[in-house]
């Protein structure tokens, strides 16, 4: 017998408050407000998948997202509701794409449950699940139409306290053959639906998707880092939307790179730079990239910089101390915070594991476990030496540049407290931000590399006599080395790129015992720069040849657009 101070009726009543649109008259003002906010490309991708499933007569599916506290999961799920609801009630078409499912769903087909806000976490896991089952049974029997798809949205399933090793498998009991289920959580294992049992339960397992800070191209398209009162900037955003979906950016990343045709990728990028974008576009994007370094990828509708900074910092620390530490049973969550601050202060500088161990007062294995938690939580990323098999050093990068500002000392980030430039020059810190954002966007670009091994998702580095190759991407032997040439550290970049030796790569197979038998080749070496050489401008090509090797100069903003 389940013993609890709450009843199933309490949670059913609470669900009715969270779904006021069931009445056909309530809750739409709130959804209209959410619909006014600028949506992420994640929502466009989700609606595209749902529309295809709907057209293909897929009657049941599951879709999962995960990400940091405050990253925008709840907002996106609410925008999903607004997009689905019948156009006669609420007109909202994100991206203005023609999709049959958008604007066609009765409000009574949708159940939205913010599980933590509804206090499921106060119950034991068994009681919480029983209450959830009661709510869904009520939705089935008293609210949802007898025919048609039901859309069930469970926001923050961590409130159900399934535990680190359990995953969301038990949620299969809540779906039937006409349910589209959406779940959100904080880390991938918590929402992992890429399992055989899920594939046996629903017709379509869409997948598990991470929500990262808004990337540069989306920040431009949404008007966060450009002024849409400028008609040229507005037209530029529309042009980038085209190139991201069907044009040259899409071709370079999803066709050329995926097919190992790096030369074609360089040609696509050269055509975009010289033929599709003009000098005014170049200037706008140059300044937009600098604005993105300052603002980061977290955007909030608050008035003052001080409040915004406090909000971003509070969300991140809440994520470290409450969410990640609780989920992974971290005994000293302050060490997650300390590693985040180290990543902010060092911003990609090489760190010895022994130094980290001594600084935190724990052994190497515990340091590794902390970093694994932070990487899995998409909070801090690691970069290792491309040429080494065993690692004694690492480079740490925060995934959002605003966290670099908020977790570093004021003497380091002086001039960047504000979200708008205040005229204070701090080239050293701007370089640290550029390096951090470069790493984050290189991680995103890595998803387009050929191959199936998870090693292709690693972003590594290596040293040459002349300097550091900051980001080395590799997929089944194809190597893309990127040297960051950004003031005040722009000297020697060409020599560094030419000295890079792809054959130095060394990686173990999945067993971790044997080296992979790969032939490492780098058809091009890339220099990511804040200032293109005159030779490149005059040649109308981003590629130049030196000593029989192909170099490709990429404006920093163009590298970010590619990710």
Residue 265 CB coordination number (10 Å): 25
Last residue of a domain, one of 188, 211, 234: 211
Residues 6+ apart with CB under 8 A from 154: 113, 115, 132, 171, 181, 182, 183, 184
Residue 38 domain boundaries: 8-211
Residue 427, pLDDT above cutoff 70: yes
Residues 133, 134, 137: CA angle, nearest 5 degrees = 85
Nearest of 1, 482, 515 to residue 266 by alpha carbon: 482
Q: What is the pTM of this model?
A: 0.93
76 found inside a domain: yes
Residue 164: its pLDDT value, please?
58
* Coil, strand or helix at 101: coil
Lowest mean pLDDT among 164-178, 320-334, 404-418: 164-178
Residue 556: its pLDDT value, please?
99
543 found inside a domain: yes
Last residue of a domain, one of 191, 211, 231: 211
State whether 207 and 326 are in the same domain.
no
Last residue of a domain, one of 190, 211, 232: 211
Number of domains in the chain: 2
> Do the Cβ atoms of 388 and 350 come closer than 8 Å?
no
The pLDDT-based confidence of 1 (bands split at 50, 70, 90) is very low
Please give the backbone phi and psi of residue 406, each rounded to the nearest 5 degrees, phi first. Answer: -80, -15
State whether 200 and 337 are in the same domain.
no
* Coil, strand or helix at 553: strand
Q: What is the pLDDT of residues 291-312, one digit of tens each?
A: 999 999 888 877 789 999 999 9
203 found inside a domain: yes
98 found inside a domain: yes
Q: Taking residues 346-362, what's their average pLDDT?
A: 95
Residue 302: its pLDDT value, please?
77
State whether 196 and 319 are in the same domain.
no
Q: What is the pLDDT of residues 484-531, one digit of tens each?
A: 999 999 999 999 999 999 999 988 877 677 788 889 999 999 999 999
Q: Length of the chain, please? A: 563
Instruction: Give residue 228's Cα distance to chain centre.
Output: 24
Instruction: Give residue 343's Cα distance to chain centre.
Output: 18
State whether 137 and 15 are in the same domain.
yes
Q: What is the pLDDT of residues 183-204, one digit of tens each?
A: 999 999 999 999 999 999 999 9
State whether 449 and 318 are in the same domain.
yes
The helix (run of H) or strand (run of E) holding residue 65 is strand 61-67
> Do the Cβ atoms of 19 and 27 come closer than 8 Å?
yes
> Do the Cβ atoms of 112 and 181 come closer than 8 Å?
no
Q: Taking residues 131-142, what's their average pLDDT?
A: 97
Residue 163: its pLDDT value, please?
63
Residue 27, pLDDT above cutoff 90: no
Q: Compute the CA torsion angle 311, 312, 317, 322 (nearest 10 deg).
A: 70
State whether 189 and 312 are in the same domain.
no
Lowest mean pLDDT among 52-61, 322-331, 420-429: 420-429
> Contacts by 9-15 with C-beta closer than 8 Å and gap 24+?
10/131, 11/118, 11/120, 11/131, 11/132, 11/134, 11/135, 12/134, 12/135, 12/138, 14/118, 14/119, 15/111, 15/113, 15/118, 15/135, 15/138, 15/139
State whether 550 and 423 are in the same domain.
yes
Q: What is the DSSP-derived secondary structure letter of residue 318?
A: H
284 found inside a domain: no
**How far is the C-alpha of 62 from the C-alpha of 331, rounded, in Å?**
33
317 found inside a domain: yes
Residues 6+ apart with CB under 8 A from 342: 351, 356, 359, 396
Q: Taking residues 101-127, what's their average pLDDT?
A: 94
254 found inside a domain: no
CATH number of the domain at 112, please: 3.40.50.300
> Could you tell me what percent of the chain has a pLDDT over 90?
81
249 found inside a domain: no
């Amino acid at each position: 017998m389940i013993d609890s101070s709450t009843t199933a009726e309490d949670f059913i009543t609470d669900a009715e408050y969270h779904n006021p649109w069931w009445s056909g008259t309530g809750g739409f003002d709130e959804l209209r407000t959410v619909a006014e906010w600028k949506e992420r490309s994640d929502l466009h991708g989700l609606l595209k998948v749902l529309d295809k499933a709907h057209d293909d007569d897929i009657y049941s599916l599951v879709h999962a997202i995960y990400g940091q506290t405050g990253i925008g999961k709840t907002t996106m799920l609410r925008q999903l509701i607004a997009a689905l609801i019948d156009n006669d009630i609420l007109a909202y078409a994100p991206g203005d794409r023609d999709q049959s499912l958008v604007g066609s769903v009765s409000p009574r087909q949708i159940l939205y449950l913010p599980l933590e806000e509804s206090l499921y976490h106060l119950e034991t896991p068994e009681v919480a699940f029983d209450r959830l089952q009661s709510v869904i049974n009520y939705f089935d029997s008293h609210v949802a139409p007898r025919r048609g798809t039901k859309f069930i949205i469970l926001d923050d399933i961590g409130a159900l306290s399934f535990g680190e090793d359990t995953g969301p498998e038990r949620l299969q009991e809540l779906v039937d053959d006409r349910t589209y289920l959406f779940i959100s959580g904080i880390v991938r294992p918590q929402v992992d639906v890429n399992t055989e049992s899920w594939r046996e339960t629903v017709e379509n397992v869409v997948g598990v998707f991470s929500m990262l800070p808004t990337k540069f191209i989306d920040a431009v398209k949404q008007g966060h880092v450009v002024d849409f009162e400028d008609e040229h900037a507005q037209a530029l955003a529309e042009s980038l939307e085209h190139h991201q979906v069907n044009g040259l950016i899409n071709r370079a990343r999803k066709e050329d790179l995926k097919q190992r045709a790096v030369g074609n990728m360089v040609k696509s990028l050269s055509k975009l730079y010289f033929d599709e974008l003009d000098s005014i576009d170049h200037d706008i994007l140059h300044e937009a990239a600098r604005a993105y370094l300052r603002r980061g990828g977290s955007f909030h509708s608050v008035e003052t910089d001080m409040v915004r900074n406090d909000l971003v910092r509070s969300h991140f620390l809440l994520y470290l101390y409450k969410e990640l530490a609780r989920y992974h049973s971290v005994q000293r969550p302050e060490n997650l915070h300390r590693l985040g601050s180290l990543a902010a202060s060092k911003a990609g500088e090489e760190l010895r594991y022994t130094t980290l161990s001594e600084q935190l007062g724990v052994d190497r294995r515990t340091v590794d476990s902390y970093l694994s938690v932070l990487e899995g939580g998409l909070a801090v990323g690691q970069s290792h030496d491309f040429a080494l098999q065993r690692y004694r050093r690492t480079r740490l990068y925060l995934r959002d540049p605003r966290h670099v500002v908020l977790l570093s000392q004021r003497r380091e980030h002086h001039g960047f407290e504000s979200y708008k430039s205040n005229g204070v020059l701090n080239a050293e810190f701007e370089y640290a931000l550029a390096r951090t954002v470069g790493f984050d966007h290189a991680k995103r670009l890595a998803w387009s590399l050929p191959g199936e091994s998870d090693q292709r998702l690693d972003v590594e580095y290596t040293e040459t006599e002349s300097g550091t190759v900051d980001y080395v991407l590799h997929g089944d032997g194809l190597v893309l080395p990127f040297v960051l040439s950004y003031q005040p550290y722009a000297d020697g970049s060409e020599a560094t790129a030419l000295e890079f030796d792809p054959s130095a790569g060394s990686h173990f197979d999945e067993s971790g015992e044997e080296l992979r038998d790969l032939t490492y080749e780098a058809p091009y070496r890339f220099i990511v720069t804040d200032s293109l050489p005159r030779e490149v401008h005059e040649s109308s090509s981003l590629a130049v040849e030196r000593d029989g090797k192909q170099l490709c100069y990429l404006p920093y903003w163009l590298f970010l657009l590619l990710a």
